[in-house]
Amino acid sequence: MKMLSWFGKLIPNLFRWGIISRWLIALCLWVSSIQLTYPILSPWPLMGAITATVVGLCLLVLVIRIAERVSPNRQIWMMVRPFLHVGDLAALAYIVCGVGLYLNGILATAPPQKHFAEVLTAAEEPVQLGPWGPAGHFQIMVQDAEASPRFIFVDAKVFQRILPGQGISFVMYEGAFGVSWVDEIVPDYKKTLATLVASGRNDSMLRKQTMMLDLAERRFQLVSRNAQQYLKEEPGDISFAINLAGTIGQLGQRALAVQILEPIASRHVNYKLYCAFGALIRDAGDIPKGIDYFKAATRIDPQAAEAYYLLGHTYKQIGQKDESRIAFTKLVELEPRYSNLLQQ
């Protein structure tokens, strides 16, 4: 009980002495629980500067209060004591506004609306508070909304994955007090690509990402057209061609997969390409042509196992057991872990 009584007296004294600044603690709690929980769409890029200013005032108040308690010449600090109320009032006003924004978000009842925007600029905050404050802010132009740019303050995770000139999508909520706040801020590769193309720039990574997004939405014909155009411009991107065609084939569109990969296979001598294309055309029904590509792959790299594995199973599939055994024997010489294939 004495220990509890001692702590009960200590904590209020620590606040009174300024060892623990009530304004600084409240401010950090506000920043942690509110500012990044319900990031608002602001017409001004001032939130980070205001946060840094208030934090600075709170720290200054804390230092002066500590100095007042420990300094032998307390009269000097007593002279500046009236000015401490300025810092207290600034922190109090900031906390009240923060609580208001928190209530604005948590009490919102309007249905969310998805929006798209272009990121005009991205700027780091000059003073960062780590996980308790924003890492930076974006200036964005929202589609289908007022023409004036808006600002969003975000944490480090969001800030690092979005660049100026990029398109983004987000969900907007109308707050309980009429202040809009946003959630689910993610890159929008289609919007980004359209923006870059309109400005005369052509980014291969974004084009590939857009094709994969279209593929996820089962837009096979669109993916096929875009892929063929891309591979005409970037014929050396064999790895992407193999991965894309393989995914399309797994989704049941083998004819389209062959259509994408065949021009590349006819122009490049590549082991992985021949194995992938051979498997595609075999599964599409042209087994003899698939076997030809597997054999060609074994000539490119006789010490690689994949082509022998594909060749052995293909021969086995069509009932040519002797040829299948020859391919599997070579496979086991290279990879003994496949020895069970010779026992089947």
State pLDDT tens for residues 58-90.
777 777 777 777 776 666 666 776 677 677 777
Whether 176 is covered by a domain: the verdict is yes
How high is the pLDDT of residue 77?
A: 65
| 3 in any annotated domain | no
Q: Are strands 167-174 and 150-154 parallel, antiparallel or unpaired?
A: unpaired
Give residue 91's domain range. 10-106
71 & 186 share domain: no
Residues 43 and 118 in one domain: no
Same domain, 339 and 209: yes
Judge whether 320 lies within some domain: yes
**Tokens found for residue 87:** 């810092």
Q: Are residues 121 and 142 in the same domain?
A: yes
Q: 334 and 223: one domain?
A: yes
Asked if residue 141 is part of any domain, the answer here is yes
Q: What is the pLDDT of residue 272?
A: 94
Report the domain count for the chain.
3
Is 1 within a domain? no
Let me know if residue 226 belongs to a domain.
yes
4 within domain boundaries:
no
Q: Answer yes or no: are the C-beta atoms of 295 and 306 closer than 8 Å.
A: no
Asked if residue 338 and residue 205 are part of one domain, the reply reads yes
> What order do you get walking across the sheet with 113-124 strand by strand?
150-154, 136-142, 113-124, 167-174, 180-187
Which residue stretches of the chain have pLDDT < 70? Answer: 1-35, 72-78, 81-82, 85, 129, 131-132, 144-147, 193-202, 344
- The answer to whether residue 5 is domain-embedded is no
Structural domain ending residue among the three candidates 154, 170, 191: 191
Residues 222 and 136 in one domain: no
Q: Are strands 150-154 and 113-124 parallel, antiparallel or unpaired?
A: unpaired
Task: Give me the residue label for tokens 């802010």.
Answer: 137
CA neighbor of 53 nearest in space, from 26, 15, 87 = 87
The H-assigned helical ranges of the chain are: 2-17, 22-30, 47-70, 74-106, 156-160, 189-198, 204-216, 220-233, 238-250, 254-267, 271-283, 287-300, 306-317, 321-334
Residues 6+ apart with CB under 8 A from 264: 231, 235, 238, 241, 273, 277
CATH of residue 279's domain is 1.25.40.10
320 and 206 both lie in a single domain: yes
Domain finish residue from 106, 127, 145: 106
At 72, give phi and psi (nearest 5°). -70, -25
Task: Tell whether 337 and 226 lie within a shared domain.
Answer: yes
Q: At what angle do helices 271-283 and 254-267 cross, to 10 degrees?
A: 150
Looking at the fold, whether 277 and 330 belong to one and the same domain comes out as: yes
- Decide which of 60, 75, 106 is a domain's last residue: 106
pTM over 0.75: no
Judge if 118 and 102 occupy the same domain. no
Task: Give the pLDDT confidence score for residue 11 in this predicted structure.
Answer: 47
Check whether residue 144 and residue 102 sit in a common domain: no
Which domain CATH number covers 165?
A: 2.40.50
In terms of Cα–Cα distance, which of 132, 123, 150, 159 is closest to 52?
Answer: 132
